[in-house]
Structure 1
Amino acid sequence: MSDQARPAAPRLPPRWFIRTFWACHRALLRVSGGRLGLRRPKPGRYGMLRLHTVGRRSGNPHAVVLAYLEDDANLFTLAMNGWADPTPSWWLNLRERPETTVDLVGGSRRMRARAASGAEHQRLWARYAELDKNLDAFARLRSRPTDLVVLEPVVGDAP
């Protein structure tokens, strides 16, 4: 073993805890009629939005609560599944049908989703890493790269 200590891998809560937490968050949002559970991003803190998708196979509507940050008129989020390996269903659905609606504090907006790439991906990843110093270590827990999803306002729907 070398003299340099290897940084400890970050520890995630058990999968059942992550799934229960998000189920409770969605329930709070639903029961409160959207009054509780959403928030705007602030310096040092990401926001919370509800994203609506249509199932790529079923055609059924789905909604998920996600952390996000703003980049001018765009919003962006990480396509991760509680840092589990599979690509989240909501991102698979958006890749099939990128038109979506997001619920934010103050109302809903129609958006179009796309993956960030190249310099944009690096820049937005660095913004997320400012909030989570373990971001790169968590990302290494996955066998595949974590997509960064950019949500662009549909023309005529910008705030």
Structure 2
Amino acid sequence: MPSFGASRAPTPPGRQTVHPLVARIGVSRLCLFLAPRLLPVLDLAAHRLTRGRWLPSRLVLPAGLLTTTGHRTGRCHTVPLCAYAFAHGSWLVAATNFGRDHHPAWSTNLLHHPHAVLTWRGRQHQVTALHLSPHQVSAFRPQILTILPFYDDYATRAGHRAIRVFHLRPVVDSR
């Protein structure tokens, strides 16, 4: 198993942790109904209007934008999502889809085309996605729960669907 968490520095206080109120709201019926419909639209609009300087989700979660290649269309698709940032410059992302019964399209796109672009804190990073096995996911459970304290609730709501988790590693320039 790759040891991509080995060089992780401790999480600075308040840096990636989610406020307990946000954790409670994240599983409320109202949030589960409205958030999937409003948050992506709001994040993308604010990001576009501020020329990449602001992402509203960053007020409550460590969030960035992931651009994937559509597995059917070949077109680029950009979605906001929360991620756990490792000190060595890689990220964990979980395809919870708010606990809905289907996988989010971006996770299916990563399975077919693992090369993507992550916009994190205003900088674009070329990344390669590694789909983690259930054993690897359990090894990184503390990091996932740091940014998604409602991960278990979403996993329960997803029912038969196993939530996909990806490790996004920066592409090393070979020139």
TM-score, normalisation: structure 2: 0.72
Does 2:90 match 1:77? no
Residue 78 of structure 1 and its aligned partner are, at CA, apart by 0.6
The structure whose Rg is larger is 1
SS of the equivalent of 1:95 reads: helix
Partner of residue 5, structure 1: none
In structure 2, do the counterparts of structure 1 residues 133 and 110 end up closer, same or farther at CA, with 3 Å as the change threshold? closer
What count of residue pairs does the alignment treat as equivalent? 144
Higher helix share: 2
CA RMSD of aligned residues (A): 2.3
1:132-151 to 2 correspondences below 5 Å: 132-143=148-159, 144-151=161-168
- Give 5+ residue unaligned stretches, structure 2: 1-26
Which stretches of structure 1, 4 residues or more, deviate above 6 A after TM superposition? none
1:9-158 to 2 correspondences below 5 Å: 10-12=27-29, 13-37=31-55, 46-71=61-86, 72-143=88-159, 144-156=161-173
Tell me how far apart the structure 1 counterparts of residues 117 and 148 of structure 2 sit (CA, whole Å).
Answer: 27
8 Å Cα contact 2:118/2:125 also seen in 1: yes
8 Å Cα contact 2:128/2:169 also seen in 1: yes
- Give 5+ residue unaligned stretches, structure 1: 1-9
Higher strand share: 1
Partner of residue 9, structure 2: none
Q: Percent identity?
A: 22
